Structures are given as C-alpha cells and as structure tokens.
Copies of this chain bind each other. A is one copy, B any other.
Amino acid sequence: MAPNKALIFAKHPETFPVPGEHLIVKTTDFDLDASPPAGGLILKTNHISYDPYLRGKMKPPNPGSYTPGFEIGKPIYNNAISTVVASDNPRFKKGDVVIGYSNFEEYVKVPKERADKDQMAYSVGLSLLENSLGLDPKIFLGALGMSGLTAYSSLYEIGHPKKGQTIFVSAASGAVGQIVGQLAKREGLKVLGSVGSAEKLEFVTKRLGFDGGFNYKTEKPEDALKRLLKEVGSESIDIYYDNVGGEQLDASISLMTVFGRIVCCGSVSQTSKTQGERNLISNIGLVVGKRLTIRGFLVTDKDFASKYWEEHQTNVQKWIKEGNLTVKSSVTEGIDNGAEGFLGMLKGENFGKAILTIAEL
C-alpha cells in the first residue's frame, strides 16, 4: 500500500476558496500492486494544469452553467501529464507518458471507456504525449495545451488580427495573454498589455516584445491605455483580448476603434466576487455607434479547438523550438501546496502559466 494524497473539493466558496476549508488535502491508501480496472490504467500524476475556469466548477449547481461542477467530497481534476504505472489497455504500456484529464491526486485509476479514447480537443480521453522536438513536457499544459490553443484559436477566429492594428491584452504575462501577445507581434500588430507587477511588466515589454504595458494595480486602466495609445501612435484599440473583465473591459470599450473586436476569454477579476462586489460596465452603449463585436467562447466550441488544433501544434512547437516564442511557467511544487497554488492563480500571484507538479517525470 502506498499513501495517496488528493486535493478534495469540500465546500462551495462564496468568494475566493480558502485552503483547508473549501479545498482539503486528504490521504488514502492506494494499492500499487493491484491490477488496473479491466481494459483500464493506473496513472501516476506528474504535472497538472491550473486554469481560471476551474473556479467556475466550484460554483453551486446552476442550470445555466457551461461546465459541470466539481463534486463535493471528490478530488478536483484538470488536464495533466501522467505516467502509466500499470495498463490493461493495448493502447498504453507501463512507463508511457500520457496527456489527458487527471485528478489533483498522486495516483488515479482510469476506466476502459476513457483509456480507449484519444484526447482530441479536450475530450475525456487520453493520448500518448507526442513530443518529437523534445520540449519541456509542462509546455503541453500551457502554450501547447488548452491555454495556448485558447489563445491561438480565438485571436484568429474572433480577433481577426491585421497588420498595423493595435491590440490590448489583459493578464498579459498569464498563460493565455503571453501567447496572444506574441502571436499578435508576429502578425505585425502594436501590442499593449496589462499585468499586476513591475516584474511582469518588464517581462512582457523586454522579453515578449510588447510595445507597451501597464501595472493595473498602480495605474488606472483608462489613463494608462490613453497614455500607451499615444506612445505607440495609435488612436484607439482594434482588438481587446479580455482575460479579466471589470474595469479594464469598461475602459477598453470606451477606447475601441469602429468595428473593433473584443475577445471575451475570461473575467478573472470578477469570478470570485459576489454580485454586489462586481465592477459595473458603463460604456456598453458605445457598442452600437462603434459597431463593436463582443464575443465569448470556450476553446472546446466548434470553430475553435478542432479547427485550429493541428495548425496550433505545428506552429507553436516549431516557434518554441526555434526560440521564436517565449513561454513562462509558474510551478507550484507538491500536492500539499495544491490549494495555495490555485488560490495564487486566482489572485494573479502566478507569473506565467500556472502548473502544479505532483511528481517530477
């Protein structure tokens, strides 16, 4: 018997989840010598992705919700890199490194139904990690995973980037923002970004090549954006890539170009607030006269993951290998720190794509 630690969803949080209250580390016994389920697998979880959408899965059940909620008393789960410990499925053998959903848990059993299916476009299946260029496997949870494909697909599908135009990306050093900004630079846009620290600001402007940026904690978004637009010689924002919602969204609406596009990827500034605490939007009336499109999406929607998957993998793997695309991860070590790492990401304390390493590969 081996001890098996898991991060258990214990209670629905009202605002930010509190480690030890809403998310609890619990240890059970796991028989590593037992056989896997018939046709299934036993996996050891190595790296697992933190993503803001997981906060949505902590809300009480709601018929309008887009993602099924986590079950109280069960481990939370997300896309992960894992190692096959034992296999009763012809697709995998012991020692294989696989990508697909796992629990925030050291060891998991995978039933036949999941082990039989490929993990295409974030279905429940599992795939061998294909890493012919020998990249850091963690990148397959970030720039080459859901957040990278989110960035890639939506920038093209909704943003329609055009050379010489101006894009503003919020949460610019985060998992999605860092990719959006660099893709936009490749397309010849002027790229502005917002971040939450001086260190992140230096990273996006010096390392990622953004044309300008600001720290939303020290400068009012509307003032900062007006200043930056002037600095880069633009009159207005053609694309706002919104990862945060709230005040930065409102400021952007007021500074958009006619026929501008707002890509609504997330609203992390709002999701842990109660209805009364949320920032209100005052400029939405400008949507008519400016003929703006404000559009939300999920990467798993038609026209996103499946449409862009192959192009995204090919290009982004190549650009990373060549050193033409920078990726930055923010790694929390050990399942004991799993809840704190998640909370840190919700508060913007991560610096780069947030990942929990449960066991090194």
Contacts and interface: CB of A to CB of B under 8 A. Distances in A.
A255 to B, nearest CB: 9
Contacts of A245: 284-285
A167 B156 CA distance: 29
Contact of A64 (B236, B270, B281, B284): B236
Contacts of A133: none
A287 B264 contact: yes
Interface stretch (A225-233, A288-296, A339-347): A288-296
Interface in A292-339: 292-298, 301
Contact of A296 (B66, B290, B301): B290
A285 B266 CA distance: 8
Nearest to A284: B281
Contacts of A295: 287, 291-295
A38 interface: no
Interface string A215-243: 00000000000000000000110000000
Given A293-B294, A296-B289, A296-B292, A284 B284 contact: yes
Interface string A33-63: 0000000000000000000000010000001
A298 B294 contact: no
Contacts of A63: 235
Interface in A60-82: 63-67
Interface of A: 56, 63-67, 235-236, 245, 249, 258, 264-267, 270-271, 275, 278, 280-282, 284-298, 301
Question: What are the 7 tightest A-B residue pairs by CB atom distance, in nearest-first order?
Answer: A280-B280, A287-B296, A281-B281, A288-B296, A267-B285, A294-B294, A66-B289
